[in-house]
Structure 1
Amino acid sequence: MHVPDGFINAPVSVAAGVVAAGAVAVSLRGARRELDERTAPLAGLVAAFIFAVQMLNFPVAAGTSGHLLGGALAAILVGPYTGVLCIAVVLLMQGILFADGGLTALGVNITVMGVVTVIVAYALFRGLTGILPRTRRSATVSAFVAALVSVPAAACAFTLIYWIGGTTDIPIGKVLTAMVGVHVLIGIGEAVITALTVGAVIAVRPDLVHAARGLAAPLKLRVDGELIDAPSAAPSPSGALSPSGAATPAAARSTRKVWATGLVTALVLAGFVSFYASASPDGLEKVAADKGIDKKAEEHAASDSPLADYGVRDVTDARISGGLAGVIGVSATVVVGSGVFWAVRRRRTHGSDTPAAAHHAGENA
């Protein structure tokens, strides 16, 4: 659902940019409370994983494909504020390096694909896990529903923005019907990917699923056909506590294996599996072509990028070109994302230290 340049007029694009900038600013502050020494590197990995999976377009109808938006997955795994930043990083890398999603439409894309999906999915996930039994299956089902609803919600958000500032005169009812119809189908794919990923992480490291940490009762794991509480090891030497107040498990203090496994998976998906992705236009592209929304579409400002259209210039073999572009994209995203989240985490540390130091200084005085 990457909106290109020319779909939305300049005033509304600027307004959406202001909304997106405000959301990012709020998220930078909120992410300080979500990130710590373990989760900051993982947030960069989540951004890189979403970048990789977005390259895997899957068929949803005749001549139409879809891809992961990622807002639900990011919000559930690393938190809503950090989730918005993850999607913003992905969209920025795609727009600058790969000419995917207009640069003047960056605010629209962050608002639609990041802010809307994160808010809807996180609210639904927390609401469902609050009323369902505290089990791994319930958390997985909640992730499925949250992701499923978030995609047509984003389609509705785009339609609203188009209704206010679209550059073509198309009946809004037709746009809404077409957008929601195809994105419900895309939402099913999004839901499957999100549920499988969240379920897999909960199965091995439930402590790393941000949205599941606050559950009143421990998550259940199925072992030899029986449900048992997720294990909680002895307290750390420092006596660190988890967000739920329980002692931090020793295993939870190490994320190297998770990080390495996730990175390798993202590289394989982007560098190899992406070659087999559907070449059909995605939901927005198909609707735009069918309804005439794309009549005033503009050429991307980065169309001459050596990585434009997810290929490496001067590499003639399509498989190698696309694979290299995917690997470069994942690598760049994990580096930029990790750098952003590490900086946010350092701001949190310094921000918490400064008041404490001032308090102690006052006591000594």
Structure 2
Amino acid sequence: MHVPDGFFDAPTSVATGVVAAAVIGVSLRKARGELDDRTAPLVGLVAAFVFAAQMLNFPVVSGTSGHLMGGAIAAVLVGPWTGVLCVGTVLLVQALLFADGGITALGTNVVLVALATAVVGWGVFRALQMVLPKKTAMVPICAAAGAFLSVPVASMVFVGLYAVGGTADISIAALATAMLGVHVLIGIGEAAITFLAVGSILAVRPDLVYGARRVLEKRELVIRSTPTSSTEVPA
């Protein structure tokens, strides 16, 4: 969902730019509470993974294609505020070096791809964690559900912005139907990638997954004593 230059009028682009700048500023401060010396190196890896995954497109319908948005998976792995920074950095690099998304639309893309997906993905993830069993096996499932819902919600945010400041005279109802239909399918791919990635990291290093911290804190330490074998020494 990389928005190119010219899709929105100047006031809308400026407004989303201001929102994006404010969110990035807050995220820079809040991210300090999400990271420590052990998890900080994971931020670069997550950003690199999102960048690489966004370069890979998979076919959807009628000649359209989709790619990972990444806000939900980043939020689960390194925290919602840090996740926004990861995806925001990826969008900046893509816009400046690869012409993927417009320069004037950078604020819009940050709002849609980084902010909306991270907020929705993390919100759904935490809501499910509160009602489902507190087990590490549920973390990838909750993350996948958040990732799935984050994509169509972000597409509806795009439709809302277009209704306010779109530059072409098209039917908003038709736009909403097309965007929702395509992005529900993209959401399925997003959910599958998120489930596999989070599950893989969780299997190896669960302590590095930010979204698993509350689950790990509730684990009880069980120490099993191993019976010692006694041998008789003949007299």
Q: Flag whether TM exceeds 0.5 (same fold).
A: yes
In 2, Cα distance between equivalents of 1:207 and 1:72: 18
Post-superposition shift, 1:140? 1.5
CA contact (8 A) 2:139 2:211 kept: no
Other-structure match for 1:178: 178
The alignment status of 1:8 with 2:8, answered yes or no, reads: yes
Q: Distance in 1 between matches of 2:51 and 2:24?
A: 18
Q: How many correspondences in the alignment? A: 222
Could you say if the C-alpha distance between residues 211 and 231 of structure 1 is closer, same or farther in structure 2, counting changes exceeding 3 Å?
farther
- Taking structure 1 as the reference length, the TM-score comes to 0.59
Kindly tell me: are residues 115 and 14 of structure 1, through their superposed partners in 2, closer, same or farther at Cα, counting changes over 3 Å? same
Query: 1:137-152 maps to which residues of 2 (within 5 A)?
Result: 137-152=137-152
What is residue 256 of structure 1 aligned with on the other side?
Answer: none
Give the structure 2 partner of residue 356 of structure 1: none
Provide the C-alpha distance between the structure 1 equivalents of 2:39 and 2:5, rounded to a whole number of angstroms. 35
Q: Write the mapping of 1:1-365 to structure 2, written as runs, cut at 5 A.
A: 1-215=1-215, 217-218=218-219
CA positional deviation for 1:39: 1.9
Q: Separation in 2 of the partners of 1:75 and 1:66?
A: 20
- Which letter maps to 1:67? H
1:12 partner amino acid: T
Judging changes above 3 Å, is the alpha-carbon distance between structure 1 residues 230 and 89 closer, same or farther for their aligned structure 2 residues?
farther
Give the % identical residues.
59
Between 1 and 2, higher relative CO (CA 8 Å, sep ≥ 6) is seen in 1
Offset, 1:135:
2.2
Contact in 2 for aligned 1:31/1:81 (Cα 8 Å):
yes
1:230 Cα deviation after fit? 9.3
Amino acid at match of 1:54: Q
Deviations 1:109-168 (A, max 9, x none): 000001110010001101111211122331111111100000001100111111100001
What secondary structure is seen at the aligned counterpart in 2 of 1:214? Answer: helix
The answer as to whether partners of 1:68 and 1:189 remain within 8 angstroms in 2 is: yes
Q: How far apart in 1 are the matches of 2:136 and 2:84? A: 25
Unaligned runs of 5+ in 1: 219-228, 233-365
SS in 2 for 1:99: coil
Distance 2:163 2:60 in 1: 25
Could you say what secondary structure the match of 2:31 adopts?
helix
Aligned CA distance change for structure 1 residues 166 and 200 (closer, same or farther; 3 Å): same
Which segment drifts farther, 33-42 or 83-92?
Answer: 33-42
Could you say what secondary structure the match of 1:45 adopts? helix
Tell me the amino acid that sits aligned with residue 61 of structure 1: V
TM-score for both structures, normalised by structure 2? 0.91
In the TM superposition, residue 38 of structure 1 has moved relative to its aligned partner by 1.9
TM superposition outliers: structure 1 runs of 4+ over 4 Å: 229-232
Residues 155 and 231 of structure 1, relative CA distance in 2, 3 Å threshold: farther
Unaligned regions of 5+ residues in structure 2, if any? Answer: 224-235
Measured against aligned partners, the alpha-carbon deviations of 1:208-242 in whole angstroms (never above 9, x if no partner) come to 11011023633xxxxxxxxxx7999xxxxxxxxxx
Distance 2:39 2:57 in 1: 28
